[in-house]
Structure 1
Amino acid sequence: MPALAPSRIVQTSPSSDSVLIIGAGPAGLSMAAALADIGIASTVLEQAPLAAIAEPKEDGREIALTHRGVGVLQQLGAWQDLPPEAISPLKAAQVFNGQDARFLGFTPEGQGTDRLGHLVPNHWLRQVAWQGVEKRQDRVTLRCGTRVQKLSLLAQGGRAAEVVLEDGERLAAPLVIAADSRFSASRRLAGIGADMLDFGRSVILCRMHHELPHQHTALECFHHGHTMAWLPLQEHMASLVLTVNADEAQALLDLDDDAFLAWVQTHSQDRLGTLRLAGPRHFYPLVATYARRFVARRFALIGDAAVGMHPVTAHGYNFGLYGVQTLARELQMARRHRAGCDLGEAVALERFEREHRRATRPIYLGTNAVVKLFTDERPLARALRQGVLQGAAHLPPLKALISQQLTGKGPSLLRQIRALAG
């Protein structure tokens, strides 16, 4: 049996202004950039090879960004790096139930803007996140092909958190931030559980050319057995987000392009006219997650490691950006008020957790409830959802509340519900 390589201590006395970030997805890289901008250095640890981070491939996902999400990207300089053709305005949304021609519509009316948000391909957001850390190389170190094997949050007498890499190398810092997906291994290593909701459904994504103009309006169509969403991109181009039972997804993926197009055309109810495939199909299972805690001693969760959303309300990526913004702000405030402060101190992390939970928990629970209701095919549920749509259509304050959450321009959902109830 080969001898184990001796452990290598890289930071026996961790710097007070340096952190470790696990995961170089958009949340982890954005976190590194945000920390660099307030004078905090970081080392980002990523399992994937550098090429996968520096040259992300198109993956079929279009991200709906709220105004707050765009604001975070602007602060990081990432929004400015996006090519104009990668940004599509989202000016309205319409929700249909079955074959009913009536719909519940949402617009940004009264919010001082002409759009609910913007749509940007996921691979472009990954690209500008990478470019952001490239610009900050003096304060960000990216180590790819690196797997974290162990995590200790009480290293060096409680003065540091420590990770042990697969090759035995040890790294220490006052704070470890995990951004390694909704199935986060780091979260588990830190002893933090997560509530997981497997919807038993999968999503198929692809771009489609369509005959009729989309007017920059997203369509969310809840049909018997599946959900069909259309996200408006360039003129006469939309991204199809097709949600089906997991067992049906593979059958649809196995269809050739002509047969798949015919299936979509039949179920689209001609809302966009004649359709034509404009790209390959992509497939993802649907599982929502919510960490039972966002922090532990010298440890914090951001991105999908904290909250992994169902895509129906398009908040997942935005929640990642909100977490980056909130955690960076709390660490900056702690340093401003206490020179030489400990970045892993509990007070700042607890403030981050409270704020991020307020921003995410009501929408997470509400989204899951909506998905359950609108995918339940029992007669009572089908009647109830029709009543929900009609009721919301006749309650302007409720419609305005939902629109504000879609744009990210209003106060938290919990505060707005309390205001309506009061």
Structure 2
Amino acid sequence: MEKTVYESDVLIVGGGLAGMPLALALAQGGLSVTVVDALDPATATGAGFDGRVSAVAFSSCRMLKRLDVIKHLAGQMQPINDIVVSDGRVRGPGSSLFLHFDHTEIGDEPLGHLIENRHMRIALQKAIEESPKVRLVAPNAVKSVAYGAQAVATLADGATVKARVCFAADGRGSPTRIAAGIKTIGWDYGQTGIVTTVEHERPHEGVAQEYFLPGGPFAILPMVGNRASLVWTERHDAAKTILALDDAAFADEMRARFGDYLGDCRPVGPRWSYPLSLQLARDYARPRLALVGDAAHAIHPIAGQGLNLGWRDVAAAAEVIIEAARLGQDIGALDVLERYQRWRRFDNVSLSLLMDGLNRLFSNDIGPLRLARDVGLGVVNLMGPARRFFMRHAGGSVGDLPRLLRGEAI
């Protein structure tokens, strides 16, 4: 029986939250794309697969609009109007010093939107279905990729994909990166992120809370309706104990940290947990291969910048490849892919290390450090220009932005 051969300009390994936007962006630039994903699309959008909610910066929202994804997210986007950053202890009073970001200080746009990852995947899949230049091959796994005059991938079912360039968007444990011999550096934080959804009595008014506790940050992220997503960071041993609690005891531990500012509250639905670590790829580019998203970098979820960092990769990679194609260049050549690497490496490394430093600074109960960080929060809160700069940076509007993040076509 003859095996299937798919031919396209670009192969993307991984059909997740980095791979699908990259496919849409490249297709809008006129390139044909084959996306191969090991996971069944129906599994990836199931309610039990991923309980996380992503904070999508306003620049990333511009990209979603340009890629015609926003229309599929109607009713699923919760605006982030304010962010409050504070310090405290479990079952103790919080610091009187805090940092408050108000979106009206920098314009009419919200600071971003909270979107459930499940609904993001559903919207991206719908946009993929509408794009005639994107072929999604799933569920199917890439067994190997050979790099020569083309990137030639062999799939689990024996099919072959031939493309001028391959992008690895297959996550932090990227088999494509590992097979290419690209090394990583990083370390484990000794922390686990516990994720669950909370229903509460009073409206949240679009206010996100980043509450720093000795075990790690406790983020309260507003969702559509009177709901919030918790990203609750604890040391591994404490997290294991908390996750083993029955529903009533788990709710008591949650309320001890959540407080009563939103009235009565209770956890609903499943609990998820994720070990937290820093991981940075030493290279993003090889001949005919480039890394995007978590395959290139995985950072601490403090401040919720991981997805936006990956989408800055997506926007930059698409711009570099499309411009090279228009100039008649070989889009898989190393000099082309290194342009993307140079564009993204400094931003990725610097933000990764900043998140690492913030987590180390705040995830402790050392008296002098607690005093210094609380004073620092209070001082920045009083400095309008600094406060507005941090808001623009969190919104993704600082630095050399790709066109998609400015809301422009490539």
What does 1:184-263 align with in structure 2 at a 5 Å threshold?
A: 184-263=174-253
Distance 1:400 1:35, change over 3 A: same
Paired position in structure 2 for 1:148? 142
What's the secondary structure of 1:322's corresponding residue?
Answer: helix
Distance 1:325 1:387, change over 3 A: same
> How far did residue 166 of structure 1 move?
4.1
What's the secondary structure of 1:35's corresponding residue?
Answer: helix
Distance 1:196 1:257, change over 3 A: same
Alignment gaps of 5+ in structure 2: 89-93, 402-410
Paired position in structure 2 for 1:25? 16
What's the secondary structure of 1:281's corresponding residue?
Answer: strand
Which residue, out of 384, 387, 395, partners 1:407?
395
- CA offset digits 1:84-139 (Å, max 9, x no partner): 2x111101111111121331111224422252111111101111111111112x32
What does 1:23-422 align with in structure 2 at a 5 Å threshold?
A: 23-53=14-44, 57=48, 59-84=50-75, 86-98=76-88, 99-136=94-131, 138-153=132-147, 155=148, 159-166=149-156, 169-338=159-328, 341-411=329-399
Within 2, Cα distance between the matches of 1:254 and 1:347? Answer: 51
Note the aligned Cα RMSD (angstroms).
2.4
> How far did residue 143 of structure 1 move?
1.7
Distance 1:82 1:53, change over 3 A: same
- CA offset digits 1:135-163 (Å, max 9, x no partner): 12x3222222322233332x2xxx12223
- CA offset digits 1:35-84 (Å, max 9, x no partner): 12112112211112343246575622111111110011111101111122
> How far did residue 170 of structure 1 move?
4.3
- Letter of the structure 1 residue corresponding to residue 309 of structure 2: F
Within 2, Cα distance between the matches of 1:101 and 1:379? Answer: 15
Within 2, Cα distance between the matches of 1:51 and 1:235? Answer: 25
- CA offset digits 1:348-388 (Å, max 9, x no partner): 31221122224333222111110111113333432332233
> How far did residue 309 of structure 1 move?
2.3
Within 2, Cα distance between the matches of 1:364 and 1:332? Answer: 28
> How far did residue 329 of structure 1 move?
1.1
Larger radius of gyration: 1
Alignment gaps of 5+ in structure 1: 1-5, 414-422
Distance 1:7 1:234, change over 3 A: closer
- On the 8 A contact 1:58/1:122 being kept in 2, the answer is no
Paired position in structure 2 for 1:417? none
- Letter of the structure 2 residue corresponding to residue 145 of structure 1: P
Paired position in structure 1 for 2:404? none
The number of residues matched between the two structures is: 396
- Letter of the structure 2 residue corresponding to residue 386 of structure 1: D
- Letter of the structure 2 residue corresponding to residue 24 of structure 1: G
TM-score (structure 2 length as normaliser): 0.89
What's the secondary structure of 1:280's corresponding residue?
Answer: strand
Within 1, Cα distance between the matches of 2:225 and 2:160? Answer: 52
- On the 8 A contact 1:226/1:244 being kept in 2, the answer is yes
Within 2, Cα distance between the matches of 1:333 and 1:212? Answer: 50
Distance 1:7 1:402, change over 3 A: farther
